[in-house]
Amino acid sequence: MTANNIVVCSFYTADEYYRAHGERLAKNLEELGVEYVLREIEKKEGEDWADICRKKVPFLAEVCQMHPDKKVFWMDVDCILLELPEYVFNSTADIIGFQRGYSSPLTIGYDKRARFWEPSFWGVNNTKLARKMIADAAEIEKTSTVKATDDYFMEEAWRANCDNMTFQFIPSNAVVGLGVTGENSMGAFFKFGSSGNVENFKGKVEQHSANKGLRKSMLKMVKKIEARLPQQTSNKLRQMADTVGITGFLTKGKSNPEARARASLLGDIQMTAQAGNTLKFEANVKAFEEKYLLTQAETNTVAAAKSFHYYASKPSKDSILLSWWAKPFPGNFGDWLSPLIFSNYTDKKIIFQSPVKLATKEHLIGLGSIGRFIKPNSVVIGTGISTDELSLAKSARYVSVRGPITARVVRSSGGPVVDSFGDPGVLISRIFPAERSDNGKVALVRHFTHKSIPIVLAEGMDELDIFMSHPDDIKNLVESLNTYSKVITSAMHIFIACQSYGIPCALITFTGFEDSVHGNGIKYGDYAQGVGLESISPVAVGLDLSKVSFENLITEHKISEEKLDEVEQAVKSGLSFVD
């Protein structure tokens, strides 16, 4: 599309954070060929962040007056546009934007939130009603004496005019890292930033009320308490919450009355799958699929349930509890290697133990950066951490850990000395042996948090999906990887799988999205040192992969048979403790 019918506006103060983001946004819009009004404003003595935000209202009204024939989009200065989707910038609606919280249309309305629109990005058409709403917002801001930010006045103007207006929601998966991705997902075009000021000013400015619910209020209170505590005390508090299941309770999803029956049947599918009850599981899936046209999220949930059922319905009277990170559904390749690998070394059923819920029985905890959720009755085999700024359960049984960094944190937490290292994911080549071939092409596999980023593939490059949980799908993926001359990935366990097979591979991230993967980056070196290889960190590359030279990024390491023997022995030893 051409961008001559729109103008993007924003402003910033003269401090280091906002000025730098102002320069970045200007460059971003110039590269896209978008006209913009970007202004540095003065922060006067006595003014705070809320006062500055309030100035967005008259500023937006001014830009609308300056451009009566164009659509005007407000955009927070620390956000970026990755592309210009036709359905957004050529929308015929009076107002277009994200619903508050970048949430799904299934949660539309005011029952769970105070305001209708997410203020970081939204568009005002050049229609009479759209411009009236902005003028009304500017007028109430001008005359009001309440202490409030821009979205308060915009909400007031919206409520006053919405009965006569057309509006369009932008789907949440248009935001990098949000929404549910699938075959028919809209591509992400928007990346938002956060200065931290929103949390700092909650409760200090006028806000509309919402039905928040007890759990949300409790979670907010706990976060406030934790933020004020010393780091060591905060770590112990978080560890206790994880151990007894408070984390799982407070972060549990919510549903509205209309969705309860649907959610209840979906919950029954998960429960019977995880219990290995084949008859009830199959009946529940059949009932659900006959009654409903499944959303992408529901399709993903059913797919994950089938994988839970695969492991929980093995023909054995005995079972083992295993903890792994199962979400996002249908599952992330790396996380679901855990039940695959442990199931390979035992005939017993594998029953899912949620990492965030209370564990009343002894259980295994295997691969993944989930060391934070180790409990006193955990048997730890190859588990890692994503940050070393935490405390680990000192009384757990540590058979092995991912690498020496995790071992150091175990010891500093008062736990034992652990000298057996190795991520169990390295055993994938022994579980699914595959012959190497070379189709002359390159495979790209992105970390699931990078899936929605709009990238340009290089010539001769295929993209393979990382969302999977069933062992048949995992087998197909690793066999496919072995047919490529090299692999490019931003997912650590794809990199680990490549090193298990000896597939040439480059570990990357994407420029501007280096913080998308959770943690402070120590897990990469922890893994590499744990298997006897040089430490490695992902290298940031641009979104147009046709312009990237990967030759110097490719490594051709293969994990030694001796290390594979050590890791395999750790898995067998760990299983013996719960037999």
Please work out, in degrees rounded to the nearest 5, the angle formed at the alpha carbon of residue 576 by the alpha carbons of 422 and 315.
Answer: 105
Give yes or no for residue 254 having a pLDDT over 70. no
Nearest to 443 by CA among 407, 409, 483: 483
What's the whole-number average pLDDT of the chain? 89
Percent of the chain at pLDDT > 70 equals: 87
Per DSSP bridges, beta strands 95-99 and 117-124 are: antiparallel
| pLDDT over 90, % of the chain | 71
Determine the average pLDDT of the residues in 356-364. Answer: 95
Greater confidence (320 vs 515) lies with 320
Q: What is the DSSP string of 105-119?
A: GGG-SSSS-S-SEEE
pLDDT in tens, 299-315: 999 999 999 999 999 99
pLDDT for position 46: 87
Q: How confident is the model at residue 260 (pLDDT cuts 50, 70, 90)?
A: confident
Do 491 and 444 contact (CB within 8 A), yes or no? no
Taking each helix axis from N to C end, the angle separating 278-291 and 296-312, rounded to the nearest 10 degrees, works out to 170
Q: How many Å apart are CA 65 and CA 126, to the nearest integer?
A: 10
Indicate the SS3 state at residue 39: strand
Name the packing angle between helices 150-161 and 128-143 (round to 10°): 130
- Bigger pLDDT: 392 vs 187: 392
**Mean pLDDT across 57-73:** 96
Between CA 209 and CA 514 the distance in angstroms is 36
What is the distance between the alpha carbons of residues 276 and 279, in angstroms, rounded to a whole number?
A: 9
pLDDT at 186: 76
Answer with the residue of higher pLDDT: 221 or 103.
103
| Segments of 125-282 assigned E as strands | 167-169, 190-191
Residue 14 has a pLDDT of: 87
Cα 34 to Cα 342: distance, rounded to the nearest angstrom: 53
* Nearest CA-CA partner of 304 in 331, 325, 278: 331
pLDDT for 259 equals 67
Q: Are strands 190-191 and 80-81 parallel, antiparallel or unpaired?
A: antiparallel
Confidence of residue 578 (pLDDT cuts 50, 70, 90): confident
Measured from the Cβ of residue 42, the count of other Cβ atoms closer than 10 Å reads: 9
| 45 pLDDT more than 90 | no
pLDDT of residue 180: 76
CA angle 140/146/150 to nearest 5° reads: 60
The pLDDT of residue 247: 57
Q: How far apart are CA 98 and CA 117, in angstroms?
A: 6
pLDDT at 220: 58
Evaluate if residue 118 carries a pLDDT over 60. Answer: yes
Residues 6+ away with beta carbon under 8 Å from 150: 53, 54, 55, 56, 57, 119, 141
Tens of pLDDT, residue by residue over 531-558, are 999 889 999 999 999 999 999 999 999 9
Q: By C-alpha distance, which of 503, 497, 492, 505 is closest to 537?
A: 492
Element (H or E) spanning 247, and its range?
helix 246-250
**Residue 225 class from Cβ within 10 Å (0-12 exposed, 13-18 middle, 19+ buried)?**
exposed
Average pLDDT for 266-293: 94
> Which pLDDT band, with edges at 50, 70 and 90, does 527 fall under?
very high
Average pLDDT over residues 200-207: 51
Cα–Cα distance, 275 to 265 (Å, whole number): 15
pLDDT at 198: 45
Q: Report the DSSP pairing between strands 35-40 and 461-463.
A: unpaired
